Amino acid sequence: MKRSTTAKGYLLNTVVLAVAFIAFLALQNVMGKSGGFKLILAPCLWQCCYLIVLAASLNLVLGFLGQLSLGHCGFMAIGAYTAALLSLACERAGLYDDKSSPVFILILFGCILLAGILAALVGLLVGIPALRLKGDYLAIITLGFGMIIVNIINNLPFCGQDGLAQGSASASLYKNGLGFGTSSKVTFLWFALLVTLICLTMMFMFIRSKYGRAIKAIRDDEIAASASGINTSFYKVFTFAYSAFFAGVAGALYACANATLSTSSFAFANGGILNSTFVVVMVVLGGMGSLTGSGAAAVIMFFVNYQIKNGTWVALLPAAVQSIFAYPMLVYAIILIIVIMFRPKGIFGTYEFSLINLSRDIKLHHTRKAGEKAERKGVETHA
């Protein structure tokens, strides 16, 4: 049954995504003129885009490979700084005059790709020694690597404290490099959405192939996987690097959405929405082993974070609740505890949302209900 629906499912998903994408662009054209869209919704969607890619990329390692990595934002930092520096270099070399030229789109795409590739290379370097360890030890060493990466970037003369982080260079990033102002964010929103879609598709293709089967086998039982002929160290390191690639892409998108870059945004834990702990929370919340779950959780968490900080309704709450809201980490912890209590496997579990799945499940649900009804009837008449 499953095989005959595979081709149909691919077709349906592609068509629906394409239609949704075009519809969104059309809608944006209409709404783009209004201030609310430009000032609030577009920047929010930009943030959602990189959070979705980031959470999904960590899910490859955490949910599908089953290895706890706590330094994921380190790879994101590499991606962000690579893309920002490249775009600045391109601008200084006079490769493009203004951000509306088609050349800029090409450069933008190239920057994002190279950001991903560099992050993947660092992921490879980190993964080879780190993935010899398991469980808590791997968590500790990846945490360490994440901090080291951020510290190295911080101490590089061209991108650290006096570079892109503070001072005049940040302004040049905003004006000339990737950093998009509010109007550019609206103009280039299609680009961010497209990159997000491409990344998610690539990850799906990875999971639904021999690579995905191999890493899921390693997650379930590493000894049995190697006894089934799977080269466990190769697949572990490869997946780690592949995941780092998408973290790098997410970082590049982040660089686009921000006028300045600061290494403190990529730390293990900070007050903001972007840190390695927060990404782990998103993955666990969405369901380890569900890419669509990670995407949904990223959007939910972003929305929660946004509302806590900017919602007008917060002022109406009792003072005690407001004081909790002053520490968003507490709120995330409460959300996580509630989800773990009622859905230990996360909101989506290992379920992947797609229209073909949805229609099949609804059908299945109906037949099951009908079966139960018939059974109950049978019991009643029997009695």
Partner 1 sequence: MPETKTPVLETRKLGITFGGLKAVQDFNIQIYQGELMGLIGPNGAGKTTVFNMLTGVYVPTEGTVILNGVPLNGRKTHQFVEAGVARTFQNIRLFKEMSVIDNVKAAFTKDVKYNMLDATFRTPNFWKAEREMTKKALELLTIFHLEDKAELLSANLPYGQQRKLEIARALATNMKVLLLDEPAAGMNPTETAELLECINTIRDRFGIAILLIEHDMSLVMNVCERILVIDYGQTIAAGLPEEIAQNPKVIAAYLGE
Q: Which residues bind partner 1 (CB under 8 A)?
A: 1-3, 10, 202, 205-206, 209-211, 213-214, 216-217, 219-221, 223-232, 289, 350
Q: Output 174 or 211, the one with its CB closest to partner 1.
A: 211
Q: How far is the CB of 144 from partner 1 (least distance, A)?
A: 27
Whole-angstrom distance, CA of residue 253 vs CA of residue 200: 14
Closest C-alpha to 236, from 226, 227, 246, 251: 226
Q: Output 228 or 359, the one with its CB closest to partner 1.
A: 228
Q: How far is the CB of 9 from partner 1 (least distance, A)?
A: 12
- DSSP annotation of 341 reads H
Q: Output 38 or 216, the one with its CB closest to partner 1.
A: 216
Sign for the CA dihedral angle at 138, 201, 119, 264 comes to negative
Closest C-alpha to 28, from 18, 16, 38, 40: 38
Q: How far is the CB of 205 from partner 1 (least distance, A)?
A: 5
Q: Output 180 or 206, the one with its CB closest to partner 1.
A: 206
Q: Output 3 or 382, the one with its CB closest to partner 1.
A: 3
Q: Output 288 or 298, the one with its CB closest to partner 1.
A: 288
Q: Output 120 or 164, the one with its CB closest to partner 1.
A: 120
Q: How far is the CB of 270 from partner 1 (least distance, A)?
A: 34
Contact 240, 33 (CB under 8 A): no
Whole-angstrom distance, CA of residue 325 vs CA of residue 56: 27
Sign for the CA dihedral angle at 301, 306, 307, 308 comes to positive
Burial of 88 (0-12, 13-18, 19+ CB in 10 A): buried
Token pair, residue 337, equals 């505890």
SS (HEC) of 177-205:
CCCCCHHHHHHCHHHHHHHHHHHHHHHHH
Q: How far is the CB of 233 from partner 1 (least distance, A)?
A: 8
Q: How far is the CB of 228 from partner 1 (least distance, A)?
A: 4
10 Å Cβ neighbour count for 27?
A: 11
Q: Output 350 or 357, the one with its CB closest to partner 1.
A: 350
Q: How far is the CB of 86 from partner 1 (least distance, A)?
A: 24
Q: How far is the CB of 192 from partner 1 (least distance, A)?
A: 21
Sign for the CA dihedral angle at 12, 15, 18, 22 comes to negative
Whole-angstrom distance, CA of residue 130 vs CA of residue 324: 37
